[in-house]
Amino acid sequence: PKSLDIAPLLDEAKKQLHEEADYLREAQMLARYGELLADQSQFVVPALYSELTTPRVLAMSFVTGVPVETLETAPQDVRDRVMHDLISLVLRELFDWRLMQTDPNFANYRWQPETEKLVLLDFGAARPLPAETGEGYRRLLTAALAGDRDAVREAAIAAGFLGEAAVLQHRALVDRMIDVILVELAKPGPFDFGDRAFVEVLREQGTEIARDRDTWHLPPIDTLFVQRKISGTALLAARLKARVDIRTMVAAYCDGAPS
């Protein structure tokens, strides 16, 4: 619709494409992640060779590994641990570091069977996050863990996930979608990413809302990039059929949320 201004999104996409081709910037991000993860033995970040790096060449150590998808045949406990570590990384990026590698392409992860470590690659899409982005997610997750549908709806609007027009026109559908998510989040024990039944329900309800073009809404740019990382991480977890105690992990970052 004409009322939806996508120019800022296109401008940001162009900016990121330029940044991903800026090897000096990527070198800084590679070095920064190496520092941030220095005490995290479950991850491997290539070492930067700054003296050999130029605007046209990014020099780093060679790190062995196989495609992360090979973990599909790994024991359940290994798959669970890997996804626990990756989800923990996303939470630290969002809430602790305010810095996130926003490209969750599976090719950016490699697995070392011999060491059982995960290799992290390609930091061209790493970007700093404003404090309000993390706080918006914190309010949303705190409300979700409390099982408070109204608070979830209001937090989603405040953070820009939902447009007010969509909520006004499709309140019942929005509330049903929230209820589906709250039921899944309230289930005891690890969350089973291999069970995708609820996703189809959300897709059907979301599609119905999306048909109403007059209520289309563009979330904040930074939220879109964060959501890309979260969605991609969830897709990998589903691919590996991992089971992770999401509720406990998220509760550690939420204000007074029940675990």
**Neighbouring C-beta atoms of residue 23, cutoff 10 Å:** 17
Instruction: Please pick, among 5, 11, 39, 103, the residue that the annotation labels catalytic.
Output: 103
- Nearest Cα to 161, choosing from 187, 185, 181? 181
Q: Please provide the distance, in angstroms rounded to a whole number, between the alpha carbons at the two ends of the chain.
A: 42
Query: What does residue 127 show for φ and ψ, rounded to 5 degrees?
Result: -150, 145
* Gyration radius (Cα) of the chain, Å: 19
How far is 203 from 181, CA to CA, in rounded Å? Answer: 12
Catalytic: 175?
A: no
Query: What does residue 120 show for φ and ψ, rounded to 5 degrees?
Result: -105, 130
* Residues forming the active site: 103
